Structure 1
Amino acid sequence: MSDEPPRKRMVRPPTGGTDAGRQTAKRLKSAKDRTPSSQAWLERQLNDPYVAEAKARGYRSRAAFKLLEIDERFHLLRKGARVIDLGCAPGGWVQVALQKGVGAVAGVDLLAVDPLPPAALIQADFTEPGCGERLIELLGGAPDLVLSDMAPNTIGHRQTDHLRIMGLIEAAAEFAIQVLKPGGAFVAKAFQGGETGVMFGELKRHFTDVRNVKPKASRADSSEVYIVATGFKG
C-alpha cells in the first residue's frame, strides 16, 4: 500500500469538447487567400477548447464561459432577476442568463441576433438617444443586473481605439448607475492598461464593491478583463 497522500482533484478547463480529452493541434489545410492574421485566428479557433465546448453545449459563443465563471464567483444571475445585456450578439450571455432562471432579459447589439425567447433582443445602437428607455420598457422594469460585452470595431490606431473602448465603458456604466435597482450589479468588458482609474473611482461611489476580474475563459494573450461592480447603493 502506498504511503503517498491521495491527490486532490483539480478543476480543469474544457479539454476539447470530447471525451477523448485534449486533441492534437489542428492546422488549416490551405491558407489560400488568407492574411497571416486571419490564418492565425482561424487556427486558434480550431484549437480552442472553449470553442469546442461551446459547440458541444449549444452555446452561441465561447463568451458564455466567461459569464458562467463570473456568476459562479459573484452569484449575479439570481432566479427571477431582470437583466439587460449590452452588446448581446451572438447571444451566448443571454443563453446563460436564461439557463440560470432569470425572470427577464432585454438585449441590444448593432448586429442582428437570432431570437432567444423569451428574451427581448433588438438591433440598435445603444449609444443613440432613446435606446436605454426602450430596453427598460422591453424588460418590464428596472434591472437587477446590467451586462456589457460591448467592444468597438478597431482601426489599428491605438489612441483612437482606446478612446472608443473607454467611451463604450463609460456609456454602459452611466446607464447602469441611472437604471439599476438598489443592490444591483454591473459587469463590463474592459482592457488592462486602459486607464480605468477614473471609472473605478466613479463606480466605487455608487457600488459597495468594484473589482477587475479575468476569467479563465478569457484568452491568456488577451488584455481583456471584466469590471464587476456589486451592491449598487441606489
Structure 2
Amino acid sequence: MPPTKKPGAPRGRDLSVRVKTARQRSHASTLWLERQLNDPYVAAAKRDGWRSRAAYKLLQLDEKYRLLKPGMRVVDLGAAPGGWTQVAVQRVRPAETGGIVVGLDYLETAPIEGAQMLMLDFLDPTAPDVLKAALGGPANLVLSDMAAPTVGHRQTDALRILSLAETAFAFAEEVLAPGGAFVTKLFQGGAEKELLEPLKRAFTSVKHAKPAASRSDSSELYIVALGFRGTK
C-alpha cells in the first residue's frame, strides 16, 4: 500500500555526512553520494515509504494546485521508480473509487498496488494507443516527469527535455477530458517559452512552479496547466 504521510518539510539533520573518495569511485560520484546522504528529502522518502524523493515534488504541487482527486483517471509518464505513481494512487484511491492510475516508463518498475505499470518507451509509436487502452476513457490528469539523460550543456539539455514535454503535451491533448490538467518538467533556459503559447491556448491557466523539494541548484521547473478547454 502507498504511504499515508502528509506532505511537509522533512525533519533536518544535526550532522552532515562526509564521504571519502574511494579508489573505485570518481570524485563526481563521491559528491553525488555525499549529496544523497545529506539530502533531507532522500531521508524522508526512506522514512515515509516513498520510492524516491521526487514524490515530495508531486505532493507539494498537489498541495498548491489540487491536482489529484479520488476517482480520477491519471497517467504518469516517466514513472520509474514509481514515486509519483505512489502519490497518485494514494490520492485517487482506485480500489475504493474506481479511478485509474497508469504509469509508464522504458525502465522496469516494480508493481505498485492500485496502479497499472507499463514498461514501454513513450516515444514508441504504439505507446499512445497502449496508454489509451489502459485508461479506458478520457484522462483527468497527465503527469510527465520525463527527462532525457543530461549532457552537461545547458541549452542542449533544455531543448532535449522540451522535446519530451512537447510530445507529452500532444498526447495530453488527445486524451484529456475538458477541465483536465497537465503537468510537465522542463529545464530553465529560455526554451520553455516555445511551449507556453500552445499551452495557453489549450488551457485556461498555465503556471510555472518549482517545488521546495526541487534541489536549489537544479534548473528544473514544472509547468502546471489547468482547465483543459477540450479538443475542437
TM-score under structure 1 length normalisation: 0.89
Moved over 4 A (4+): none
Please say if residues 149 and 188 of structure 1, whose CA atoms lie closer than 8 Å, have aligned partners that are also in contact: yes
SS at the partner of 1:98? helix
Query: In structure 1, what residue type is equivalent to 2:35?
Result: R
Query: In structure 2, what residue type is equivalent to 1:121?
Result: M
TM-score under structure 2 length normalisation: 0.90
After superposing the two structures, state which structure 1 stretch, 218-227 or 95-104, moved more.
95-104
Shift of 1:154: 2.1
CA RMSD in angstroms, aligned pairs only: 1.5
Structure whose CA Rg is larger? 1
Q: Who is 2:25 aligned against?
A: 34
Per-residue CA deviation, residues 53-109 of structure 1 (Å, 9 max, x unaligned), is 000010000000000000011111111000000000000001011111341111111
Please say if residues 76 and 185 of structure 1, whose CA atoms lie closer than 8 Å, have aligned partners that are also in contact: yes
Shift of 1:133: 1.2
Aligned residues between the structures:
219
SS at the partner of 2:227? strand
Please say if residues 120 and 139 of structure 1, whose CA atoms lie closer than 8 Å, have aligned partners that are also in contact: no
Tell me the percent identity.
Answer: 55
Q: What does 1:48-63 align with in structure 2 at a 5 Å threshold? A: 48-63=39-54
Q: Who is 1:71 aligned against?
A: 62
Which residue of the other structure, out of 72, 78, 103, is the alignment partner of 1:87? Answer: 78
Unpaired runs of 5+ residues, structure 2, are: 1-6, 94-98
Q: What does 1:213-232 align with in structure 2 at a 5 Å threshold? A: 213-232=209-228
Query: In structure 2, what residue type is equivalent to 1:141?
Result: G
Query: In structure 1, what residue type is equivalent to 2:14?
Result: Q
Which residue of the other structure, out of 197, 200, 205, is the alignment partner of 2:201? Answer: 205
Change (3 A) 1:195 1:43: same
After superposing the two structures, state which structure 1 stretch, 151-160 or 66-75, moved more.
151-160
SS at the partner of 1:186? strand
Per-residue CA deviation, residues 213-233 of structure 1 (Å, 9 max, x unaligned), is 000000001011100000000
